[in-house]
Chains A and B, each alone.
Chain A
Amino acid sequence: MHMADALISPAVGGTVWAASAGLIAYCSKKVRDDVDDIKIPLMGVAGAFIFAAQMINFTIPGTGSSGHLGGAMILSILLGPYAAFLTMASILTVQALFFADGGLLALGCNIFNLGFFPCFIAYPFIYKLIAGEKPTQNRILLGATTASILGLQMGAFGVVLETLFSGISELPFGTFVLLMQPIHLAIGIVEGIVTASVVSFVWKSRPELIQKAPLASPANRISFKYVLAGFLVATVLTGGVLSWFASSHPDGLEWAVFHTTGKEELEAPGHKVYSLLEKIQEKTAFLPDYNFRTTKEVEAKEQEVVMDSGTTVSGLVGGALVLVFAAFIGFALKKRSGTGSHL
Chain B
Amino acid sequence: MSRIKTAFLDLGYMDTLSNRDTPVHNLDPRAKLLTTLIFIITVISFGKHEISALVPFFIFPAAIISIGNLPFYYLFRKLLIVTPFAIMIGIFNPLIDREILMHIGSFSISGGWISFASIMLRFALTAGSVLVLIACTGFNSVCMALDKMGAPRIFAVQLLFLYRYIFVLINEASRVANARSLRSFDGKGKGIKVFSYLLGHLLLRTIDRAQRIHLAMLCRGFDGEIKIRRRLNIGTKEVLYTLTWSAFFILMRIYNVSQLAGKFLTEFFL
Interface of A toward B, CB cutoff 8 Å: 2, 4-10, 13, 24-25, 28-29, 31-32, 37-38, 40-49, 51-53, 55-61, 69, 78, 86-87, 89-91, 93-94, 96-101, 103-105, 163, 167-172, 175, 193-194, 197-198, 201-202, 205-206, 209, 246, 249, 251-256, 259, 263, 301, 304-305, 309-319, 321-323, 325-327, 329-334, 337-338, 341
* Min CB gap B31→A, angstroms: 15
**Interface 1/0s, chain B 74-91, versus A by CB < 8 A?**
000011011001100110
CB <8 Å contact, B192 and A58: yes
**Complex Cα distance A319/B206, Å?**
52
CB distance from A275 to the nearest CB of B (A): 14
* A301: contacting residue among B111, B120, B160, CB under 8 A: B111
Told that A48-B168, A103-B126, A201-B199 touch, could you supply 8 new A-B pairs with CB distance under 8 A? A10-B41, A44-B162, A47-B162, A49-B169, A53-B173, A56-B195, A96-B130, A98-B11
Q: Which 3 A-B pairs have the closest CB atoms?
A: A252-B47, A44-B161, A318-B262
- Taking a contact as CB atoms under 8 Å apart, the answer to whether A99 and B58 are in contact is no
Contact in complex: B126, A55 (CB < 8 Å): no
Instruction: State whether A172 touches B41 (Cβ < 8 A).
Output: no
Q: Are A100 and B22 in contact, CB atoms less than 8 angstroms apart?
A: no
With both chains docked as a complex, state the minimum distance between the C-beta of B136 and any C-beta of chain A, in angstroms: 12
Q: Is B59 an interface residue (CB 8 A)?
A: yes
Question: Which of chain A's residues have a CB closer than 8 A to the CB of B46?
Answer: 252, 255
Question: Within the assembled complex, what's the spacing in Å between the Cα atoms of A90 and B58?
Answer: 29
Q: Is the CB of A4 within 8 A of B52?
A: no
Judge whether A86 and B162 touch: CB under 8 Å.
no
| Complex Cα gap A105–B81 (Å) | 20
CA distance A52 to B198 in the complex (A): 12
Is A326 a contact partner of B192 (Cβ separation < 8 A)? no
By the criterion CB–CB under 8 Å, are B56 and A198 in contact? no
Q: Which residues does chain B contribute within 8 Å of A10, judged by CB atoms? A: 41, 44-45
Q: Which residues of the partner chain A approach B58 to less than 8 Å between Cβ atoms?
A: 322-323, 326
Given the complex of chains A and B, what is the CA–CA distance between A25 and B154 in angstroms?
9
Complex CA gap A339/B81 in Å reads: 32
Instruction: Mark B139-172 against chain A: 1 for CB-CB distance below 8 A, else 0.
Output: 1001000000001111101111111111011101
> B137: nearest residue on chain A (CB-CB)?
A97
The reply to whether B166 and A330 form a contact with Cβ atoms under 8 Å apart is: no
* CB of A194 to closest CB in B, whole Å: 6
Out of A38, A198, A315, A341, which one reaches B256, CB within 8 Å? A315
Q: Is the CB of A87 within 8 A of B158?
A: yes
B37 at the interface (CB under 8 A from A): yes
CB-CB under 8 A for A169 and B89, given A43-B161, A87-B158: yes
What residue of chain B has the Cβ atom nearest to residue A196's Cβ? B196
Note all chain B residues with C-beta closer than 8 A to A163. Answer: 89
CB distance from A83 to the nearest CB of B (A): 9
Given A252-B46, A301-B111 in contact, is the A321-B262 Cβ separation under 8 Å? Answer: yes
Name the residue of chain A whose CB is nearest to the CB of B226: A40
Whether the pair B262, A319 counts as a contact (CB closer than 8 A) is yes
Q: Find out whether the CB atom of B103 lies under 8 angstroms from the CB atom of A318.
A: no
Nearest CB in chain A: distance from B63 CB, A: 6
- Tell me whether A170 and B152 are in contact in the complex, defined as CB-CB below 8 angstroms, given that A4-B85, A317-B266 are known contacts: no
Question: CB within 8 A of A52: which of B51, B79, B173?
Answer: B173
Check A315/B52 contact, CB under 8 A, given A28-B154, A197-B192, A321-B261.
yes
A42 to chain B, nearest CB (A): 4
Question: Could you say which residues of chain B place their CB within 8 Å of the CB of A202?
Answer: 200, 203-204
Residues of A within 8 A of B118 (CB): 252
Inter-chain contacts of B69 with A (CB < 8 A):
334, 337-338, 341
Q: Which residue of A lies closest to B199 (CB)?
A: A198
B86 to chain A, nearest CB (A): 5
- Can you list 25 A-B contacts (CB < 8 A)? A7-B86, A10-B41, A28-B155, A38-B210, A38-B211, A41-B214, A41-B217, A48-B206, A53-B202, A55-B7, A94-B159, A103-B127, A104-B126, A104-B130, A169-B119, A194-B199, A252-B50, A301-B111, A313-B104, A314-B265, A315-B256, A319-B262, A330-B63, A330-B72, A341-B22
Q: Which of B109-129 contact A (CB under 8 A)?
A: 111-112, 115, 118-120, 122-123, 126-128
Chain A residues lying within 8 Å of B10, measured Cβ to Cβ, are 98
| B101 contacts A201, C-beta separation under 8 Å | no
| Contact among A45, A61, A104, A329 for B63, CB-based, below 8 A | A329
What 1/0 mask marks residues of chain B from 26 to 57 whose CB sits below 8 Å from any chain A CB?
00000000001100110111111111100110
* Beta-carbon contact of A304 and B192 below 8 Å: no
Residues of A near B103 (CB, < 8 A) are 305, 309, 312
Question: What are the residues of chain B within 8 A of A251 when measuring CB–CB?
Answer: 47-48
